[in-house]
Structure 1
C-alpha cells in the first residue's frame, strides 16, 4: 500500500487480501475519478483566451455538456457581455445568467433540436470581423442540433438516425452520414458566422478525438469522400428513401466557395485519454499498477469483453503484461449490433460486462466496472455496472442465465436483478466509456 493514505477517500483493509466490498468501492472511485477529470467546471477556464475588448461575444453550443460548459464560461468571464444559446439533453440543463439553455431529445432528435439549430444559425448571422463566436461542443451534439438540409424533413433525419443506431456503425461512421443530411453540421455553423472569429471549445467523446466527428463537427469544414458515405450505406444495409439518398450524394460533392471559409480555432478541453490518466493516478495511490490499453477501442461490445477476459487471465496466471494487483483501463465506444434479435434492455457497457463475466466463468480475484462517462449507458438510467467473481453464480441463484440474457441483448436486466448497476445520474460531461478491470493475486 502506498503512502499518503490520509488524503485518500477510503482505506483498503485486509493487508493485501481484497474483499468484495472494497473491490467495488475501489472501482467506483476509479470511475468517478475519470469523470471528475472531464468536468467542464474544472477544466474549461484554462483554455479560454483573454476576454475580447471589442466586438460582440456570441456563445453557441450543443451536447450533453453544453449547459454546464456555458455556466463555466459565465463564471470565468463574469464581466463580459455574453449572449447566445446552447442546446443540451433533457435533464442536463443547469442555471445560467447570460446564455440561454434549450433542452432537446437524444439520441433521436425532436422538434426542439430543429428549433435550437435554427435559433443558433440566426444568432451567428450578420456578425463582423471584430466579433467572437465561442462554440461549446460535446458528445450528443449531433442529435441535439438537427436541422435538415433543403429537401429533407426532421422525420427523414429521425428515421436515418434510428437506422444508424441499430446498425452497428461506429460513431465516426454515424456522424459522417448525419452531417451530410444537415444544414448546420459539417462546418456549416462556422460558415454562417463568417467573417467573425470562431473559437470552439470541445469535450471529446469519439475515438481519436477527431474534431470533425465530435457532434458531427458543426464548426469544422473538411472535404467528404463520397465513396466513404456510399460504403457505410452499403455495408450496414441501410435502406434509404430515394430523396434521402439523393441528398446524401449531393452533400458529399459540395465544396466551400472561395473566400467563404471562416476564421476558426479548435481547442480540446477534455478527452478520453485525460480521463484514463486520472483513473491511472487514482489506482497508483492505492498501490495498484494501472495499464492503459487504449482510449479508442471499438468493435462489438460482447467480443471486447471476451478479449479483455483473456488479458485479465494472463495477468492473473502469468503476470503478463503486468503483475497483480493491476488495473486494466480502456476507453472508446463499442457497438451493439441488434440484427434480427428482438432487443432487450441494455447499453454497450452492460453488454461488455456481461460478455466479460461469461468469458471469465467465475474466475476468482477479478472485478470490473464499465460505464458511460455521461451517466447514461445507451438509453437506460444507469451509467453501467460492476461484475464480481460470483456474478454468474448469483444470477443462477435468481434463476437467470447470463448467457441467455446476453444473447437477447438484455444485459441491463441481468445487472438490475443483481443490484449491480452503477447509477450516477447525468454527470454533465462526456468523454465516452470508462472500463476498468481489477485483478488481484490469488488467495
Structure 2
C-alpha cells in the first residue's frame, strides 16, 4: 500500500512511517515480490514489529514515530493513513504509566475469559493513545485521509485495526463494567486503575474537532471483492449471484452460472 501510494503521490510526499509485520520484507523478496516493496530512496521509513501478531517493542517504537509525525502537522498538511487488518497489534501506544506488557496481559485475560471483539476494543481504546480516533486527534488540524483494507465482516470502521482514524467516545465506566463482567476488576495492574481513575470521557469537542477533517474510505473488503468478481464474470458471459455476503466467512462467495443456465 505504501509503495503504491508513494508512486501515485510522487514528490508531494514529504515524509512517512509505516509499521509492518515482522519479516514481511524478507518474505516478499524470497517469493519474488520485491516489486511490492518501497524503493531504496523512499521517503517512507519502514519499521517491522508485532512478531507472531503480538504487540512488541518494535511496534511500539513505530507507533511513537507515527504519533510524533502526526503531532507536528499543521492545517496546511494532509496525512495519508494506510490501514489493514492486524493494524491493532502494529500500533500499540499504551497511556503511561501502563506498560506494553501490562496492556497485553489485560487483553489476553479478557480474551481468555470469552470477551467479544467489541469488548476487547472498548478496553484497548481506553488504554491507548492512538486507537479509537486517537491518531486523527493528534493530526488535527491537518486533513486526514484513511484508506482501509477491511478484514472484519460488515466493515465496521471502528473495529478495523481498532479505528485509529475513527473518533470514538470512550467512557471509563464502560471499561470498568467490562472488566467487572469477567471478574478481572481486582486483578488488573494498578497502572490501569490509575489511567481509568483519572480519565474522563473523550470530550465531544475532540470528536467534532477531528471528524470534519477525516475521510475514512474502505478500498478493499470481501464485499468489494465479490462485487468486482461478479462484474468480471458478467463481462465473460456468466450470470453471477452473490450469496450471503455478510453472514459468516464460509458463506461469503460468489456463485457463478453460465449464461445459458436457468
Equivalenced residues, count? 237
Relative to structure 1, the CA distance from residue 259 to residue 286 in structure 2 (aligned partners, 3 Å threshold; closer, same or farther) is closer
- Note if contact 1:161-1:178 (Cα within 8 Å) is conserved in structure 2: yes
Conserved? CA contact 2:81–2:147, under 8 Å? yes
**Contact 1:276/1:295 (<8 A) preserved:** no
1:108 aligned partner: 54
Give 1 or 2: higher helix fraction: 2
Aligned to 1:95: 37
Distance between the aligned counterparts of 1:181 and 1:98, measured in 2? 31
TM-score by length of 2: 0.76
Q: CA deviation at 1:286?
A: 10
Distance in 2 of aligned mates of 1:257 and 1:279: 42
Give the C-alpha shift of residue 149 in structure 1: 0.4
Q: 1:173 is matched with which residue?
A: 119
Contact kept, 8 Å, 2:137 with 2:206, in 1: the verdict is no
Residue matched to 2:6: 74
Larger Rg: 1
Q: CA deviation at 1:168?
A: 3.6
Query: What SS does structure 2 have at the residue aligned with 1:116?
Result: helix
Distance 2:245 2:173 in 1: 29
**CA deviation digits over 1:395-437, x for unaligned, max 9?**
xxxxxxxxxxxxxxxxxxxxxxxxxxxxxxxxxxxxxxxx789
| CA-based RMSD | 3.2
Give the 5 Å matches for 1:384-399: none
User: What does residue 295 of structure 1 align with?
Assistant: 246
Aligned to 2:201: 253
Aligned pairs for 1:145-224 (under 5 A) are: 145-224=91-170
Mapping for residues 418-429 of structure 1, pairs under 5 Å: none
Residues 151 and 92 from structure 1, CA distance in 2 versus in 1: closer, same or farther, beyond 3 angstroms? same
In structure 1, the gaps of 5 or more residues are 1-68, 299-327, 331-434, 438-443
Which residue of structure 1 aligns with residue 192 of structure 2?
Answer: 244
- What is the rounded CA distance, in whole Å, between the counterparts of 2:60 and 2:87 in structure 1? 12
CA distance in 2, matches of 1:251, 1:276: 43
Cα deviation 1:336-372 (Å, max 9, x = unaligned): xxxxxxxxxxxxxxxxxxxxxxxxxxxxxxxxxxxxx
The CA deviation at 1:215 is 1.1
Query: Which aligned runs of 4 or more in structure 1 are off by greater than 6 angstroms?
Result: 281-289
SS of alignment partner, residue 251 of structure 2? strand
Q: CA 1:286/1:138 → structure 2, altered by over 3 Å: closer, same or farther?
A: same
Alpha-carbon offset, residue 249 of structure 1: 5.6
SS of aligned partner of 1:207: coil
State the distance in 2 between where 1:170 and 1:99 align.
35
Q: What CA distance in whole angstroms lies between the structure 2 residues aligned with 1:86 and 1:207?
A: 25
Call closer, same or farther: CA 1:258–1:148 in 2, change over 3 Å.
closer
8 A contact 1:148–1:154 mirrored in 2:
yes
Q: Which residue of 1 aligns with 2:259?
A: none
After superposition, the Cα gap between the structure-2 partners of 1:124 and 1:289, relative to the gap in structure 1 and judged at 3 Å, is: closer
| 1:264 CA drift (Å) | 1.4
